[in-house]
Amino acid sequence: MTDIVPFLRLSNVSKNFVGVRALQDIDWEVRPGEIHCLVGENGCGKSTLIKIVAGVHAPTSGTIEIGGQEVLPLDPAKAKALGIQVIFQDLSLFPNLSVAENIAIDDTLQNMLMPVNKAAMRKTTRAVLERLAFDLDLDAAVSDLSVAERQIVAIARGLAAEARLIFMDEPTASLTRAEVDRLLAIVSRLKADGIAVVFVSHRLDEVVEIAERVTVMRDGRKVGTWPVGEVDQKKIANLMTGLHIDNSIVARDMSSAEPVLEVKNLTRHGEFADIDFTLRRGEVLGIVGLLGSGRTELALALFGMHRVDSGTMALEGQPLTLRSNRDAVRAGIAYVSEDRLGLGVILPQSIGDNIMLAVMKSMTNGLGLIPDKSRKKLAGDWVQRLAIKVPSADRAVQTLSGGNQQRVVLAKWLATKPKVLILDSPTVGVDIKNKQGIYEVVTDLARQGVGIILISDEVSEVFATCDRVLHMRGGRILEEEVPGRVSEHEMEERIYA
């Protein structure tokens, strides 16, 4: 393999932040035109590594070579000039500017006094989009585009800047399967042009699908790099965590338990139609489907955030009409959003206040005040019951890891003593160790008689926790399955079909 000159080579790169070793002795190379995957749990140093290569951070020690030349010290402008482009997860686009202005933004970065040549910008843009075989309205504002289209704009911007190596940070996190395929097709076009692509991802299925080589990181160190043929998903997962993950099937037959939530013909025009199901006490019901299948829209309607157009709901036999999520919470329905950072926790505020949020109205004394004692007790109880690792409930939620943040969200809802708990992709952005912890909490709740709806697009997760699984697509429920009766692989094929 030594005959290939790597495009990028890191030797002995370490990075210390005040007292913390974020990266330790990383040796890593990326070859020209290869598709490389960089995987690891949150906090393993992936992002730091990208930022060092992009010139955002300076390494504490070690060397970086690009095309055989030592390039340190590096800054963002120099990294870009050397052909390094990073497409961050938030895409870093300018929503108020047009497609052409976003893609050819580099044309506006020269001398501040120079006039901008709009015709040249359009020409650049058209040429790049042609290379990607993609058609977009050059004058449309980026804020009007879909997420997938924005992704194309971000890639096109990298190409316009004559990238030789593109980092894509979690590029598929919010795409539908069809859109992922489209993206992968574009990536192979890039490869044909000799441009290397490094995917940073936590979805192992994709990793195996497109990459030529995989690099696994853990705790700031490189575990190793393998050709894709030599490792499978399970092995990668084990390498990432250093744990052995056992996904055994737990499905129970709950058909004799009494129903807690009955849904009939539930329809919201344009989002979902004719949804029928019955959730029983203590049952864990999975809903699998991809983004855009109507799964989140259904959850929001069950939680009262969106009105339904027709159909009925009944909770413990009583008919249920929801005008707002306050009605839902009063009735005993709770919802853990898929957007933990935006809609789940309130990051800058304290853990205690976050936990108290949904029940504080019931905690007041005769004067309408919330006694300090009950405030502390509630927070303390839940921190203990859910084993949230924190010295004090007065800390801001943003000081917690993703997994512990999600426990705070769970605590907030469990404090309302729900009869039905809807979990929408609860483990996104949670590392594998903490995922297990969240599954344990869910199983425990089910044992206590709470009806649970688990929405996910990770079949392995649903199979390892649910008693029954509904497959949703195009706003409808296609089929009902019991884990074990179909294999995980079969289910996956049906979903991605």
78-137: which residues touch another protein (CB under 8 A)? Answer: 80, 86, 88, 90-97, 101, 105-106, 108-116, 137
Give the number of C-alpha atoms closer than 13 A to the C-alpha of residue 250, restricted to the C-beta side: 19
Residue 162 contacts another protein per CB under 8 A: no
With beta carbons less than 8 A apart as the criterion, state whether 61 and 13 touch.
yes
Cα gap 426→407, rounded to integer Å: 10
> Rounded to a whole number, what is the largest CA-CA distance in the chain?
80
Residue 242 contacts another protein per CB under 8 A: no
Which one of 65, 212, 316, 353 is in contact with another protein (CB under 8 A)?
353
Cα gap 24→251, rounded to integer Å: 43
Closest CA to 58 of 14, 20, 24: 14
Q: How remote is the C-alpha of 388 from its chain's centroid?
A: 21
Of residues 167-206, which lie at the interface with another protein (CB under 8 A)? 178-179, 182
Cα gap 13→27, rounded to integer Å: 7
Residue 489 contacts another protein per CB under 8 A: no
Q: Which DSSP string corresponds to 429-462?
A: T--HHHHHHHHHHHHHHHHTT-EEEEEES-HHHH
Stretch that binds another protein, among 164-172, 220-228, 244-252, 355-363 (CB under 8 A): 355-363
Q: How far is CA 337 from each of CA 343, 427, 471, rounded to the nearest angstrom?
A: 6, 11, 19
Of residues 386-405, which lie at the interface with another protein (CB under 8 A)? 399
Query: For residue 249, which amino acid is it?
Result: I
User: In the bound complex, what is the minimum distance in angstroms from residue 293's beta carbon to another protein?
Assistant: 8
SS3 130: helix
Q: Is the peptide bond before 73 cis (omega within 30 degrees of 0)?
A: yes
User: In the bound complex, what is the minimum distance in angstroms from residue 95's beta carbon to another protein?
Assistant: 6
Which one of 62, 294, 332, 483 is in contact with another protein (CB under 8 A)?
294
Which one of 27, 70, 130, 139 is in contact with another protein (CB under 8 A)?
139
Stretch that binds another protein, among 75-83, 162-170, 205-213, 229-237 (CB under 8 A): 75-83
With beta carbons less than 8 A apart as the criterion, state whether 301 and 386 touch.
no
> Residue 313 or 409: which CB sits closer to another protein?
409
Which one of 165, 260, 308, 345 is in contact with another protein (CB under 8 A)?
345
- Dihedral sign for Cα atoms in the order 327, 333, 339, 340: positive
With beta carbons less than 8 A apart as the criterion, state whether 127 and 72 touch.
no
Cα gap 455→286, rounded to integer Å: 6
Of residues 301-340, which lie at the interface with another protein (CB under 8 A)? 305, 324-326, 328-329, 335, 337
Which one of 72, 132, 141, 223 is in contact with another protein (CB under 8 A)?
141
Convert residues 29-68 into a mask of x (bound to another protein by CB under 8 A) and - (unbound).
Answer: ---------------------------x------------
User: In the bound complex, what is the minimum distance in angstroms from residue 339's beta carbon to another protein?
Assistant: 9
Residue 236 contacts another protein per CB under 8 A: no
Of residues 416-445, which lie at the interface with another protein (CB under 8 A)? 416
Of residues 450-479, which lie at the interface with another protein (CB under 8 A)? 473-476
Count of CB atoms situated within 10 Å of the CB of 300 = 18
Cα gap 458→289, rounded to integer Å: 9
Which one of 323, 361, 447, 489 is in contact with another protein (CB under 8 A)?
361
User: In the bound complex, what is the minimum distance in angstroms from residue 150's beta carbon to another protein?
Assistant: 11
> Residue 247 or 325: which CB sits closer to another protein?
325
The count of residues interacting with another protein (CB under 8 A) is 91
